[in-house]
Homo-oligomer: A and B are copies of this chain.
Amino acid sequence: MSLAGRELRSMIDQDGTFILTLDEVEVGDPAGDEIVVRVEAAPINPSDLGLLLGPVDMATLTPHVNGRVGLMGRVPHERLAGVAGRVGRSMPVGNEGAGTVVAAGRDVAHLTGCRVGVIGGGMYADYRRLKARDVIPLPAGVQARDGASMFVNPLTALGFVETARSEGHKAIVHTAAASNLGQMLQKICLADGVPLVNIVRSPQQAELLRAIGATHVLNSKDEGFTDRLREAIAETGATIAFDAIGGGTLGGQIVEAMERAAVGRLSEYNRYGSTEVKQLYIYGGLDTGPTIMNRAGFGFQWSISGWLLFPFLQKAGAEVTGRMRDRVVAELTTTFASNYTRVIGLAEALDPAVLRAYERKGTGEKFLIDPGRD
């Protein structure tokens, strides 16, 4: 009497046909160490969109796949090589979520009926069977929507602070700083006494961050932004930045401002620039255009690198990640509270208009999938 339910699947064919469907799948009986979770909430994170949509041309999406609920589109030929590894394979989507355990294997029977937070992929579904070790039981009274985003954003925000500490930096710069993630980071930095320079793109975003206690908030669209960035970086001594944008010149501007401040701290002239390492981590791609680095003001002690949660967690080791998870559970509805601007059902996620809305990745906009809605 195995359960069956819908599962959102993304697929790219060899000829570049992109297909998004809701498939009816058998969940399968849980093994001894497995559970079956009824998914009640799963966020759409920017990190989910890569797998969900691939490099599809958004303009080509049409709402039919052989009569089933689904979407079809085209991946331009020149982008196919970049996703060769997934071509022809139907991929389940959804990094994380929360729900209730409706079946459990012999060794973990005590979890039946528990509400849990889950990381492990394939969460855009009615049911998800997985190892019990990949879930965290939620404290009593916590709703599924409050536990749905307890992994990616909280661990990323904590990971930034851990990275900064372990590499010897004393203050941090963050771009696209008014996001859910950015708000978490600001709360952590306030609690931990780490100065944080927030860069946003509107007065509303600046106000939002100030309301939770941010002291350094810069709007990159303001006149005089470059000067104020230099001041804030000199004042805080920030030598590490986390950048969600990726494209354009902002990252380089940050490195240059750091170098300028570091040169100001030198006791004697060094023709190669400062001796402090300036580190920019690019962890997102809100701007998928090229990164432009005007190195003239960088000196030679700089590094621009990709930052990704899972390799960070592996490198950090069990003790550090255990401590991070405990903190997330303890502060789930305070530091790590997520705000959702819209709740949609599984079928709605395939509606072209809805899809375009969550694909825009607007700061402050956040979608939650509740499979129970349809």
Interface residues of A in 299-352 (CB under 8 A from B): 299-308, 310-311
- Given that A86-B269, A293-B293, A310-B272 are known contacts, is A304 also in contact with B305, CB under 8 Å in the complex? yes
Question: A301: which of B91, B297, B306 is its contact (CB, 8 Å)?
Answer: B306
* Residue in B closest to A304 when the chains form the complex, CB atoms: B304
Count identical subunits in the complex. Answer: 2
CA A89 to CA B298, docked complex, whole Å: 22
Taking the closest CB of chain B, its distance from the CB of A343, in whole angstroms, is 25
The reply to whether the CB of A212 lies closer than 8 angstroms to some CB of chain B is no
A270 & B85 in contact (Cβ 8 Å cutoff): yes
Residues in B neighbouring A266, C-beta threshold 8 A: 85
Looking at chain A's contact residues, is the secondary structure mostly helix, strand, loop, or mixed? mixed
- Assess whether B295 is in contact with A86, with CB atoms less than 8 Å apart: no
The reply to whether B295 and A285 contact each other, CB–CB distance below 8 Å, is yes
Do A294 and B300 touch (CB < 8 A)? Answer: no
Contacts of A285 in B (CB 8 A): 295
CB distance from A298 to the nearest CB of B (A): 7
Interface residues of A in 74-104 (CB under 8 A from B): 81-82, 84-86, 89, 91
Pairwise interchain contact A308-B301, C-beta atoms closer than 8 A: yes
**Nearest chain B CB to A167 CB, angstrom units:** 12
Q: Mark A220-263, 1 if CB is under 8 A from B, else 0.
A: 00000000000000000000000000110000100000001001
Closest B residue by C-beta to A86: B269
CB distance from A65 to the nearest CB of B (A): 22
For the complex, give the distance between the alpha carbons of A270 and B271 in Å. 43
A311 CA to B303 CA, complexed, in Å: 14
Complex Cα gap A294–B292 (Å) = 9
Task: Kindly state whether residue A2 has any CB partner on chain B within 8 Å.
Answer: no
Give Cα A310–Cα B50 distance, bound, in whole angstroms: 41
Residue A304 contacts which of B81, B272, B299, B303 (CB distance < 8 angstroms)? B303
A306-B307 Cα distance, complex, nearest whole Å: 18
- CB proximity of A240 to chain B, nearest CB, Å: 14
A125 on the interface (CB 8 Å rule)? no
Cβ of A190: which chain B residues have Cβ within 8 Å of it?
none
- Give the docked Cα–Cα distance between A299 and B302 (Å): 20
Asked whether, in the complex, the Cβ of A300 is within 8 Å of the Cβ of B304, the reply is no
A residues neighboring B (CB under 8 Å): 50-51, 81-82, 84-86, 89, 91, 246-247, 252, 260, 263, 266, 268-272, 275, 282-283, 285, 288, 290-308, 310-311
Given contacts A82-B297, A304-B304, 15 further A-B contacts (CB under 8 A): A81-B260, A85-B269, A86-B271, A89-B269, A272-B310, A282-B295, A285-B295, A288-B295, A290-B294, A290-B295, A300-B306, A301-B308, A303-B303, A303-B305, A304-B305
Selected A-B contacts with CB under 8 Å, 26 pairs: A51-B271, A81-B260, A82-B297, A85-B269, A86-B271, A246-B295, A272-B310, A275-B311, A282-B295, A285-B295, A288-B295, A290-B292, A290-B294, A290-B295, A291-B293, A295-B306, A300-B307, A300-B311, A301-B306, A301-B311, A302-B305, A303-B304, A303-B305, A303-B306, A304-B305, A305-B305
7 shortest interchain CB distances as A-B pairs: A85-B269, A300-B306, A303-B305, A300-B308, A291-B293, A51-B271, A304-B304
